[in-house]
Amino acid sequence: MPDSPSLTHTLVLVATRDATSLTPVDIEVARDLVRGAAPVTLSEGEAVEIACPAPETWDSPGIGSVRAALAERALDVLVTPAHNRRKRLLVADMDSTIVNCETLDDIAAHAGIGEKIAEITRRSMNGEIEFESALHERVALLAGRPVSLLERAWQDVKLNTGALELVRTMRANGARTALVSGGFTFFTRKVAARCGFDENHANTLLTRGDTLTGGVGEPILGPDAKLAHLKRLVKEEMLDMDDAMATGDGANDLAMLRVAGAGIAFHAKPAVRREIGNQVNHTTLRTLLFAQGYRADEFVTG
């Protein structure tokens, strides 16, 4: 028999804790497909890692083969190079990634025009219409509305499970963390403070007195700006792009997800899932730590 391929990569399996648990059968199915080593437990019943050859050497091509074999299970499957797994930079989207909502849609809901704006958001996040024009179109519909809508929308914002653990664990291990959103600074400042992000960047809603003007400050923070912030942080921290993790759910995140050493689509829109191989479709932001080889007992929660 030929020599076994070098185990240059790591496959990570993660179960949705409140729905199911990893079983020995799940693990063996995945291990056989990738010709992997013995599994290492990261969280009992929740997450394991399996050293394996590069995906192009697997008997069944690609990460999709493992997902397909486990399609009936609420599991996420990720594969990363074994080298340099623990990233030293995190750049994260906010809406529907770090928090559980689209904050502009929530503002619109409180203004009584939620459905109209939500449909534009859906098309923009799936890459069907250009981000900047969609942002201008949505914000223009808020002209003349009270600024107090922002605070009302903030009361609806909840952190996604694992957000605190992700940011605080990476920071505790020396990583720089940045929240970079196509949303608004009113929300990113609050979310960044709650999670402990080192910095945050977003768009600015223009106001006149206590009223929204329907305008957005320039320049618009869209896909190119997200990528620019990622590149800036890599340079400032004297890192390589391979040292960076980026995560997001929408088409405006694709530019940074494509180039980061670990670009992970989080409960992403179809256009994003078609392009980004590493995906969290079932589980939580805890999975981004498991992908880096952290054990659950290493997570920082406070």
Q: Break the chain into its structural domains and give their ranges.
A: 9-81, 89-298
Q: How far apart are CA 164 and CA 195, in angstroms?
A: 5
Is 242 catalytic? The answer is: no
Question: What does the block give as tokens for 206?
Answer: 């223009």
What is the reported pLDDT for 2?
Answer: 42
The single residue of 26, 76, 93, 243 carrying the catalytic annotation is 93
CA distance 109 to 43: 39
Give me the amino acid identity at 14.
Answer: V
- Whole-number Å distance between alpha carbons of 109 and 88: 38
Query: Which has the higher per-residue pLDDT, 222 or 62?
Result: 222
| 38 or 3: which leads in pLDDT | 38
> What is the pLDDT, as a whole number, of residue 62?
80
What region does 12 belong to: left with phi over 0, alpha with psi -120 to 50, or beta? Answer: beta
Over the chain, what is the mean pLDDT?
94
Can you name the CATH fold of 89-298?
Answer: Rossmann fold (3.40.50)
How far the first Cα of the chain sits from its last, in Å, is 51
Q: How confident is the model at residue 279 (pLDDT cuts 50, 70, 90)?
A: very high
Q: Is the pLDDT assigned to residue 49 strictly greater than 60?
A: yes
Report pLDDT for 58.
Answer: 82
Reading across the β-sheet that carries 262-266, which strands appear in turn?
A: 199-203, 176-184, 89-92, 244-248, 262-266, 279-280
3-state secondary structure 242-277: HHEEEEECCHHHHHHHHHCCEEEEECCCHHHHCCCC
pLDDT for 1 beyond 50: no
3-class SS at 290? Answer: helix
Reported confidence tier of residue 298, pLDDT bands at 50, 70, 90: very high
Candidate list 26, 95, 105, 106, residue with the active-site label: 95
Instruction: Give yes or no: 93 in active site.
Output: yes
Tell me what pLDDT residue 4 has. 57
Q: Which of 30, 128, 74, 90 is nearest to 256 (CA)?
A: 90
pTM for the predicted model, two decimal places: 0.94
User: Which listed CATH number (3.30.160, 3.30.2450, 3.30.70, 3.30.450) goes with 9-81?
Assistant: 3.30.70
Q: How confident is the model at residue 116 (pLDDT cuts 50, 70, 90)?
A: confident
